[in-house]
Structure 1
Amino acid sequence: MKTIILVRHGKSSWKYDVGDRQRPLKTRGLNDIKLVAKEYIKFGELPEKIFSSPAKRAYQTCKIFIKTCELDQKEVTIIEELYDFNGRNVINFIKSLEDTINSIMIFGHNHAFTSISNIFGDRFIENLPTSGLVKINFEIDNWKSLEKGKTELIIVPKDLR
């Protein structure tokens, strides 16, 4: 079995004159990802590998999530291809993973994560909101065989406030 946990970055700030990759999180984004991480901890399943988009808002989200879940010992790998908005690069990255890895968590962007959730999960999501988390399980032995799986968990901040 393989598991993918997708976490969309927190709400970002537009008040700074910086490029898209450098946009930081807003205070709401910081608070929302802590709520989602605390809720996720209740399910007790931590990923083997954690990957993040290089965008500041995604990596900040990742660091906050890891700290909140007390996963400081986990190594995060920043992957250029995860700075993706349509999902093709994320899917290609997932399909290229080593089969010895069974569970991953990816911090990234929309519309990629909404699309991937709908392509591979069995529950329709109109839009994965900022700080939203989706966990999908797959009855496969290798990542290249990625096919329709079962959406096990959806956590969105507005349900936790």
Structure 2
Amino acid sequence: MDNRDARSNNQHTLIVMRHAKSAWHTGATDHARPLNDRGLRDAPAAGKVLSELGQPIDRVLCSSALRTRQTWEGAERGGARASEVTHHDEIYESHPGEILQLVQQLDDSVGCALVVGHYPGVALLVQGLAEGSNHRGIAQITEKYPTSAISVLRFAGSWADLEVGGAELVDFVIPRG
């Protein structure tokens, strides 16, 4: 289904991704922590997964932290593409409600959006939105949301109306490079 079909059916796709594995002992502030070697391998693998979803990404909402920006750059090297990418301080160290507020501000012409963020915000966001979903990935997400993990959620209606329990988890992937 392309984005025109999704929009005509008032269907939207939200992809939620945790940043790839980051380096810890760099001396940098948390916001400036870069990806480690594994993260640099996993980010392009995540990009390959994103490129194979069969739905173009219209908008990326990426945390302003270095490791999330590097994750998206690596994903692009792996084949992921987006019409627009924006960076948001609000996603860094945020609660799921803050991320949801950003998502709810999307224009309904956006058929597919990707959030690149941090644990635990991304895990809690997916758990909340997919509450009641019976996809096998819910158990894994509840237990642990690993680095580079990707959740794909779909819902009918406006971005502004997206709420807890309002989306269906349709895929959960943990890419490794």
Relative to the length of structure 2, the TM-score reads 0.81
CA contact (8 A) 2:50 2:80 kept: no
Match of 2:173 in 1: 155
CA contact (8 A) 1:131 1:156 kept: yes
Partners of 1:58 and 1:3 in 2: how far apart?
20
**What amino acid is aligned across from residue 33 of structure 2 in structure 1?**
R
Consecutive unaligned residues of structure 2, counting only runs of 5 or more, are 1-10
Match of 1:56 in 2: 66
2:160 to 125, 144, 153: 144
**What amino acid is aligned across from residue 13 of structure 2 in structure 1?**
T
CA contact (8 A) 2:55 2:112 kept: no
Match of 1:100 in 2: 109
Helix, strand or coil for the counterpart of 2:169?
Answer: strand
Percent identical? 25
Match of 1:128 in 2: 145
Consecutive unaligned residues of structure 1, counting only runs of 5 or more, are none
Cα offset, 1:70, TM superposition: 5.2
Q: Is 2:46 aligned against 1:46?
A: no
CA contact (8 A) 1:47 1:104 kept: yes
Partners of 2:161 and 2:80 in 1: how far apart?
32
CA contact (8 A) 1:37 1:69 kept: yes
Query: Following superposition, which runs of at least 4 residues in structure 1 exceed 4 angstroms of deviation?
Result: none
Match of 1:3 in 2: 13
Cα offset, 1:139, TM superposition: 1.2
CA contact (8 A) 1:50 1:77 kept: yes
1:78 to 78, 87, 104: 87
| Residues 8-17 or 93-102, more deviating | 93-102
How many residues are treated as equivalent by the alignment? 157
Helix, strand or coil for the counterpart of 1:137?
Answer: strand
CA contact (8 A) 1:138 1:150 kept: yes
Match of 2:124 in 1: 115
CA contact (8 A) 1:53 1:108 kept: yes
CA contact (8 A) 2:58 2:113 kept: yes
